[in-house]
Chains A and B, each alone.
Chain A
Amino acid sequence: MELFHNLVFGFGVAFSLQNLLYCAIGVSVGTLIGVLPGIGPLATIAMLLPLTFNVAPVGAMIMLAGIYYGAQYGGSTTAILVNLPGETSAVVTCLDGYQMARQGRAGPALAIAAIGSFVAGTFGTLLIAIAGPPLAGLALKFGAPEYFSLMLMGLVAAAVLAQGDMVKSLAMVAMGLLLGIVGTDVNSGVQRFSFGINELTDGIGFIVLAVGVFAIGEIVANLGHPEERRFFTDKVKNLMPTKQDLKQSIGPITRGTLLGSFFGVLPGTGPAIASFSSYMMEKKLAKDPSRFGKGAIEGVAGPESANNADAQCKFIPMLTLGLPASGVMALMLGALTIQGIQPGPEVMTTRPELFWGLIASMWIGNALLVVLNLPMIGLWVKLLKVPYRFLFPAIMSFSAIGVYSVNNSSFEIYLTALFGIIGFVWLKLGCSPAPMLLGFVLGPMMEEHLRRAMLMSRGDASVFVTRPISLAFIVATVAILILMVAPAVRARRGEIAG
């Protein structure tokens, strides 16, 4: 009954006029950037973060979360209508969604995507509400060694499971940890890597780094590619899916939701992995797999549910353990810190209105997405026609104003420009910057926990393996590494033998 009580409390917070408004703004902005290719939730949240400083923490988090899951939603709209995945997670939706649109069934495809997302969102919300308190309760027992091992596991898992080269991701985590060190050392008061620059004594600004790498760096990279555009001219009519559609979708939506929730709590696995796995699963389970790729509604229902469940469940480790499982969650964690809230298991007890209000708002947001967006699809499609050459100067403006407004500091603008260049170089070298952000956010905390753990144990590193919870995390870390390295080793041996 406590769950019920908590949820009622949360809905009370989320249903305040102000928070409803923030939720609506959040999901609308989210849908907008989800529709627009070339700008993702990471860059948007980084760029709009400074504007939430004057907003109460609950409202700020509700809005930022809305941007995040709204973007998943908008991404699928363009995937179905114009075969253009607004977000990476929607790539799979293109396969059958666009085929359905070409057969004149864009309406049902969009509706099923929306229904699937809503079901998944509801389930994800419930899962957070149920799993949150016990997880946070467990985490309250953690000491410094447990936290260090947990963060190590989180970072390694995030790097290993992320798309792309594993070694590069691990290296980028280390890079982020290193960037997180810049500034005054809390223990000794020594200035580290600040090069005698006054503005660096407090460290590199979180927003400076995020905007530089994810907004500016991405724009430079995008300008390197020629613009490509495809248009879908037919009007969307007849949104209602048939009974047959609904019947075919129940299974995929259920399976997709469960699969997405599972991937959601794992660090590093983006929504793209969840939706791809769901697609493969549906194709395997189908009586007639040849329909896939030719407009099978299961190929829309499953992946769309999976990616929304994943997005929702990514909040579980962030809210209960203070552990970001993805780049966006690292930003959310940064947003909390900037609001003066120390992320971790205490949030649930010290700021219950934040925890339960945010959860309730996610359910409201998902409902809003269905209600508001289906009638607005025409508008979103029109927005797609805005060429990138109008779009990126707007992104530049928002980024610059956002960064400047944090400390009214021109220096931070120059630093943003520098990180824009660095971020672009990273992209070019195939070094994904998302793991870097995780390292950057966790770096200072990790160093602190490491030092404390070593002090506790009088310099004996075995403390990490003699305490059971910490040992479990270390074992999991090693297991993840072995699992990932093993197939590569085997393959190479095979090559030599062959």
Chain B
Amino acid sequence: MQLEFRSNRDFWAGVMLIATGAVAIFIARNYSFGDALRMGPGYFPSVLGGSLIVFGIYLLAAGLRRNEKIEGNWSLRALIVLPLSLVLFGLLMEHAGFVPALMVLIVGSTAAGSEFNLIEALVLAAGLTAFAVVLFIWGIGLPYPLIVGW
């Protein structure tokens, strides 16, 4: 029997659940467990962590038996670029204002796709940002400076 761990879907789902459950129990050690009558803050998380581990072990075993593959590719580019654009948006909202934050977010997001075209991205960013300014800042009245210091 050949085992392909790298793309075994249920195996990794099991690993993920076991790891989450173990971390939960490990952290919950610091909270008092209490007893069934007076449950401490550690009671519920420990029980949940334990059940995650049980589910995880089952899935891990099932995965080794069924060996189902993870479908599709990992779209690594989007997986890195999209969260990064969001982080930039967060930073720029605090330090630069609504317009630069949103422009960067939109141009950044388009770069996550496979058909990136800078001109198209800029046009899209300008249009969407204008729309957002009208709708959210002027329309709904969200209290953000368009550009900090302006």
Contact = CB atoms under 8 A, between A and B. Distances in A.
Asked if chains A and B come from one complex, the reply is yes
B102 A397 contact: yes
Contacts of B24: 178, 193
A429 B13 contact: yes
Contact of B74 (A175, A405, A417, A428): A428
B45 A193 contact: yes
A178 B85 CA distance: 28
A306 B37 CA distance: 46
Nearest to A55: B140
Interface in A441-471: 447, 450-451, 454-455, 458-459, 461
A19 B127 CA distance: 30
A400 interface: yes
Contacts of B115: 389
Interface of B: 9-10, 12-13, 16-17, 20, 24, 27-28, 31-32, 35-41, 44-45, 48-49, 51-52, 55-56, 58-59, 62, 68, 70-75, 77-79, 82-87, 89-91, 93-94, 102, 105-106, 109-110, 112-115, 121, 124-125, 128-129, 132, 136, 140, 142
Q: Is the interface of B mostly helix, strand, loop or mixed?
A: helix
Contact of A401 (B72, B78, B82, B136): B136
A167 B27 contact: no
Contacts of A193: 24, 27, 45
Contact of A428 (B31, B58, B70): B70
Given A175-B20, A454-B39, A429 B83 contact: no
A214 to B, nearest CB: 14
Contacts of A420: 82-83, 86
Contact of B37 (A174, A388, A454): A454
20 contacts: A168-B59, A170-B55, A171-B51, A171-B52, A174-B52, A178-B24, A219-B78, A221-B72, A223-B112, A389-B113, A396-B86, A401-B132, A404-B90, A405-B136, A418-B83, A424-B79, A428-B70, A430-B9, A430-B13, A454-B36
A350 interface: no
A468 B7 CA distance: 48
Q: Is the interface of A mostly helix, strand, loop or mixed?
A: helix
Interface string A410-429: 11011011101100110011
Interface of A: 51, 54, 165, 167-168, 170-171, 174-175, 177-178, 181, 185, 187-188, 190, 192-193, 216, 219-221, 223-226, 388-390, 392-394, 396-397, 400-401, 404-405, 410-411, 413-414, 416-418, 420-421, 424-425, 428-431, 447, 450-451, 454-455, 458-459, 461
Which interface residue of B45, B62, B85, B86 has the most chain A CB atoms within 10 A? B86
A471 B102 CA distance: 54
B93 A410 contact: yes
